[in-house]
Each structure stands twice: as C-alpha cells, then as structure tokens.
A and B are shown apart, each in its own frame.
Chain A
Amino acid sequence: MSAHDGLDDEPSHEEEESFGRPFLGRKLGTAPVETVEAHTHEDDTPGGHYRPYLLTGGRTGSGAAGVHIETVLVRDQSVIPRQTAWSTELAMIISACETPVAVAEVAARVGLPLGVVQVLSGDLVTAGVLLRSASSMSLADDVLFIERLIHGVAAL
C-alpha cells in the first residue's frame, strides 16, 4: 500500500476536520520531527490509545521504506540521535533495536500494533536512524543460501 497517494496534496483545512477520521493526516517523512509529537497524546501508555494510527498520520502498511513483518532492524551505531527530538513511541522503537530484531518483535515488545510500528520504523529507516535488512524475497531460488540454512538448522 502506498503511503503517498493524495495525502501530500490535501488542503490543510482537511486535517483540522480529521478528529473522527484516524486514517487522515500528514506524512511524517517530509515533516519536521516536532510534527510527530503533535500527533501523540500527553499520556505515554503505548497501545492504550483509542486510535493508534493517529501516531502514523493515518498511514498503514509497509510504505516506501519497504519494512515488512519480518524485516530485521538495528540501530545505526554511527548516528547519535538527539533523544529529546523523538516521541515516546519512536524512542521506544529505537531502543528496541539495539540488537537486530524483526519488526514484529519490535511491535510485540513496545506494545503497539504491527501496522503502526511498520510505518514508524519505516520513517526511522528513511531518516537513517535504523538500518534495515536486505529483503529475503529472492532467496527462495537461491540454492546456496538454502543449503546454508539447512546446515544451520541441522546444527541447532
């Protein structure tokens, strides 16, 4: 699902009317990071929000950064993020990625829906804070890779 369709071109008055429509909102990638905080609530109980997709500006799915359920993320150690710039949710996602973990695992550990974490971690990949694994899509036909996998599982 593309996150870009039509959202950029929306007139601003549309956003002001978006209270009852959680899937409306703007795209984080092109906005200053302060915008992220504007979407979050005062309380910081993740998963307790009535509309968790407010956190993503209404975006769902893997988006442009190609973050899928199994995509492995790790924090780029060469980047020193300015912690105060992050919303609670983004900070929790970053800290969950100190060692390589799949997006599904990040979602389970921070207590946010998978779809929300896919979008937010995609933003962090685009921002260069998180590194993303290469896709495993093409590996089904890679004989050497599958042989290596078989060897690895047999040795468990």
Chain B
Amino acid sequence: MSLPSETMPVTGPGRQPGPNTRRPPIPVKILISGGFGVGKTTTVGALSEIAPLTTEAPMTSVAAGIDNAGAGSQKTTTTVAMDFGRVTIDESIILYMFGTPGQDRFGFMWNDLADGALGGIVLVDPSRLDDCFVALDYFEKIKLPYVVAVNQFAGRASMTLEELRHAVNVDPDVPVVGIDARSREQVKTVVLTLLHRILARAKARRTD
C-alpha cells in the first residue's frame, strides 16, 4: 500500500466512490412550521432519534405587506436559529425534520430550506391563529404539500376542527388535525397524514 502523498489527495469531481464505500442514505426533508412558541421543537423532538439540534440558517426576510420581490423591494438576508431532528427510516433513507421560524411582522422566505422539501406541517396555536398564515401562504405559493396540525387541541378546545379549518381558510383537501406535539404517536400520525397526501399527489401526477 502506498502512503498518502505529501499534499492533499485531490481527485477530480468526477471521481467514483471507492469499492468499499456506499453512497450515503438519501435525505428526506420535511418542514415543521408555525409561529413562535407554537411547539415546533417539541414536535421535532417527539419523533427524532436525537435531541433536537440547532443551526444558524440564512433566511431572506421580506417586510410585511410587500410581496413584490423585484428590484427595490425590502428584502434582507438574515440568520435565524433553526431546530431540527433526524429519524432513520432504513439503511438508505434518513428523514430530517426542520423547524422553520416564522414571525408575524416579517415574512421569512425559506428558499434554501424549502428547496427539495417533500412536504410541510403547519403548526397552529388556536389562541394565536394568525401566526400560522406566513407559513400557509408560503407553502401554497411554492405548491408544497402540507397538513395543518393544531397543537394541544384537546387541552383548550374552544373551537372545533371545522371552525379552525374555516378560520385558517385552507383548501378542502388539506388535512386539518389536532395533535399533542409531545406525543410521539400523534406526531407520527401527522407525518403519515402528510406522506399520504404527498403520495396522492405523486399518483395523480403519474396518471396525468
């Protein structure tokens, strides 16, 4: 066996993996979104096999009321802390759940984050309904499949799910479910609801 050369073992970008290595597992990305304090990290942590981690992600913020992204719009790039977790599905698939920040005064555009995402879960606090509208608008705009999950619904059921559906005004085919974000089983069920919605869309596109 030859020793590594004095310099870095640079090889070309077209290099094939060595015979003893396999391609890493494919990541599946879903976004957990909603207003501040609605339970995004709790939701991530309920299903994640690791304690939720935090990273600083670049985001573009757009001043409220300005939806023209052309020249002169008030867009700034900022850095936002984002929590995420991981679920190993099998030896070739890893599911990553990213909690995306969303505030009411500023609309954050999660372009880097949403790029390649399979779907989204919009968490709703019934007492602060309008906090979720930024996420709803964004997911609808980029045509990302999503479900609406009303956190701690059972604890303060001042509205029925139908009333909530009406209040957030989503399409009739968008699932609106109540969850306890601390419950692993309930979070799992919401993720499955989302995946079935993604599956339905994939099947519809196949027959188009």
List the interface of chain A (C-beta within 8 A of B).
32-33, 60-62, 64-65, 68-74, 76-82, 85, 100, 102, 104-105, 107-109, 113-115, 126-129, 131-137, 139-143, 146-150, 152-154, 156
How would residues 86 to 124 of chain B score, 1 for a CB under 8 Å from any chain A CB and 0 otherwise? 110110011110100000000000001101101000000
Given A32-B7, A81-B9, A114-B55, 14 other A-B residues pairs in contact with their CB atoms under 8 A? A61-B112, A70-B28, A70-B96, A73-B24, A79-B9, A104-B84, A127-B10, A134-B26, A136-B27, A136-B28, A141-B202, A147-B199, A148-B89, A149-B195
Contact A128 B55 (CB under 8 A): no
Task: Given A74-B24, A79-B9, A153-B191, verify A146-B29 contact (CB < 8 Å).
Answer: no
Interface residues of B (CB under 8 A from A): 4-13, 15, 17-21, 23-29, 47, 53-58, 79, 82, 84, 86-87, 89-90, 93-96, 98, 112-113, 115-116, 118, 188, 191-192, 195-196, 198-199, 201-203, 205-206
Q: Which residues of A contact B7 (CB under 8 A)?
A: 32-33, 82, 85
Known contacts A140-B198, A153-B192; A72/B53 CB under 8 A = no
A69 contacts B8, C-beta separation under 8 Å: no
Q: How far is the CA of A127 from the CA of B25 in the complex (A)?
A: 20
Whether the Cβ atoms of A60 and B9 lie closer than 8 Å is: no
Chain B binding surface, main DSSP class: mixed
The answer on a CB contact under 8 Å between A133 and B198 is no
Instruction: Tell me which residues across on chain B come within 8 A of A107, comparing CB atoms.
Output: 55-56
Decide if A72 touches B54 in the complex (CB within 8 Å): no
B21: which A residues are within 8 A, CB to CB?
74, 76-78, 131
State in angstroms the CA–CA spacing of A6 and B93 once bound together. Answer: 38
Query: Are B89 and A114 interface neighbours, CB within 8 A?
Result: no
With a cutoff of 8 Å between Cβ atoms, the chain B residues found around residue A156 in the complex are: 47, 87, 188
Q: Give Cα A143 to B4, complex, Å.
A: 45
Query: For the complex, what is the distance from the CA of A88 to the CA of B70, rounded to whole Å?
Result: 41
Q: How far is the CA of A6 from the CA of B112 in the complex (A)?
A: 23
Q: Are B116 and A72 in contact (CB under 8 A)?
A: no
Q: How far is the CB of B131 from chain A (nearest CB, A)?
A: 23
- Minimum CB–CB distance from A28 to chain B (whole Å) comes to 11
What residues on B are CB-neighbors of A139 within 8 Å?
26, 28, 118
Known contacts A82-B8, A108-B55; decide if A153 and B188 are in contact (CB<8 Å). Answer: yes
CB–CB B24/A131 < 8 A? yes
B-side contacts of A133, CB under 8 Å? 23-27
Q: Are B58 and A115 in contact (CB under 8 A)?
A: yes
Instruction: Please determine whether B23 and A152 come into contact, CB atoms closer than 8 angstroms.
Output: no
